[in-house]
Amino acid sequence: MIRYLKLLGPSATSRVLVAGARLAVRPQIDRLRLEGLQLRYLRGVIAAGGVLAGWPTTARAEQVRTTRFEGEWVRARNAEAGDDGVIIYFHGGGYVASSPRSYRCVTGPLSALSALPVLAVGYRRAPEHVYPAALDDAVAAYDWLLAQGHPPERIVVAGDSAGGHLALGLLTTLARCGRDLPAGVTLFSPLLDPALTEAVRRDARHHDPVLTPTFAARCAEAFHPGGDFHDPCLSPLTVKIGLLRTFPPIQTHVGGTECFAGDSERLHERLTRAGVPNKLIVSRGQIHSYVTMYRLVPEARRAVRRAATFLRSCIDEDVVVPSSSSQRLAT
């Protein structure tokens, strides 16, 4: 099956999206400043695009407001109340844009395919709220689920782009404190190196159609002014092997056109060295956060299905993940 997908190459829809992104998205996003009208424009465009991408939906959304964080429950019709397990989802948007509502295009299908409710966390965004505000909200959401009676072995985590970075920050924070970690994590197009060293080199060889290192650097500066990313909670690729060994199984999806793809390969190598069960799936010809194109792109639907199956397997008692398994796939 994998060889067949390689032979086919990217879908026609994907090729159209890549061509359009190169012409219209990359040049525009490279010039955007994260302040004033330009920031409001960026947030408005992403919010509108997310709502359109997720409409119509049969999943039910219920607002969650606590003293420590806000978010929403997203439940498909076949999702249980949560006794069988829950998914925490951290949305993308460079830490400066987007919201749980904009990500129902992902959380709705993820809930339906996994038959699990999804807690989409509305973490505080930069530049109004800088690090560690978002990480504090992620930890607060995890603690809230524990207080609601959900044990760690019945909690799984997913996130894309900045949300993938936040998911790994949550794991690192919990592991440092010697706390129980969630049962598994899926990452979509994760930000793994805010210093963007490999991303700059990769983009110089083959331009990312959507996300430029220049714009990613602006997001990183807005999120953590000063640019000191030595803390492993900020730089997942610097987490020590000994600490990585405490991490749960991890599945990573990344598009082949992304400037972040090389960092996902490095994460896969480090997790494998640490003996963490993990799988890296590189989808040829796909753009950054292609998972948000669930309704349009067959590769996005395939990624969400794989994520749902994996996350469900992490909490199902009759599924055993080998402790030393690792795999790298290209589709």
Query: What's the confidence (pLDDT) of residue 3?
Result: 33
> Any idea which residue has 């919010």 for tokens?
47
Average pLDDT over residues 29-37: 94
Structure letter (DSSP) for residue 177: T
Catalytic site residue 325?
no
Asked if 232 and 238 count as a contact pair (C-beta separation under 8 A), the reply is yes
d(CA 159, CA 310): 14
The crossing angle, in degrees rounded to 10, of helices 104-114 and 36-53 is 30
Average pLDDT on 152-157 reads 98
Catalytic residue among 235, 288, 299, 313: 288
pLDDT tens per residue, range 214-247: 999 999 999 999 878 999 999 999 999 999 999 9
Start-end of H helices in the chain:
2-8, 12-20, 26-31, 36-53, 104-114, 133-147, 162-176, 197-205, 213-223, 241-244, 261-273, 298-315
Instruction: Give the Cβ contact number of residue 176 at 10 Å.
Output: 13
Residues 6+ apart with CB under 8 A from 197: none
Architecture of the domain made up of 2-330: 3-Layer(aba) Sandwich (3.40)
3 state DSSP class of 178: coil
Owner of token pair 């955007």: 32
pLDDT value at position 320? 41
Taking Cα atoms as reference points, which of 172, 163, 171, 215 lies closest to residue 191? 163
Token digits of residue 42: 């960026």
Using the Cα atoms of residue 187, residue 284, residue 101 and residue 85 in order, give the sign of their dihedral: negative
- Which DSSP category does 293 fall into? G
Q: Is 70 a catalytic residue?
A: no
List 72, 198, 258, 299, catalytic entry: 258
How far apart CA 4 and CA 95 sit, in angstroms, is 37
Calculated CA dihedral for residues 28, 104, 166, 152, nearest 10 degrees: -170
123-137 pLDDT, tens digit per residue, is 999 999 999 999 999
258 in catalytic set: yes
Please determine, for residue 322, whether its predicted confidence score (pLDDT) is greater than 70: no
Q: Which two tokens stand for residue 202?
A: 């990769």
Q: What is the pLDDT of residue 228?
A: 86
Q: What's the chain's Rg over C-alpha atoms?
A: 18
Phi, psi of 70 (to 5 degrees): -130, 160
Tell me how far apart the alpha carbons of residues 13 and 236 are, in angstroms, rounded to a whole number.
Answer: 33
Written as one letter, the residue type at 87 is I
- The answer to whether 310 touches 186, Cβ cutoff 8 Å, is yes
Of the pLDDT bands very low, low, confident and very high (cuts 50, 70, 90), residue 5 is very low
pLDDT digits (tens, 9 = 90+) for 7-25: 467 999 999 999 999 999 9
Q: How far apart are CA 126 and CA 269, in angstroms?
A: 31
Instruction: Tell me the C-alpha distance between 179 and 175, whole Å.
Output: 6
The pLDDT score that the predictor gives to residue 161 is 98
Convert the pLDDT of each residue in 62-78 to its tens digit.
999 999 999 999 999 99
pLDDT one-digit tens code per residue, 185-213: 999 999 999 999 999 999 999 999 999 99
pTM of the entire structure? 0.94
Whole-number average pLDDT of the chain? 92
Among candidate residues 14, 99, 102, 161, the one labeled active-site is: 161
pLDDT at residue 326 greater than cutoff 50: yes
SS3 (DSSP) at 238: helix
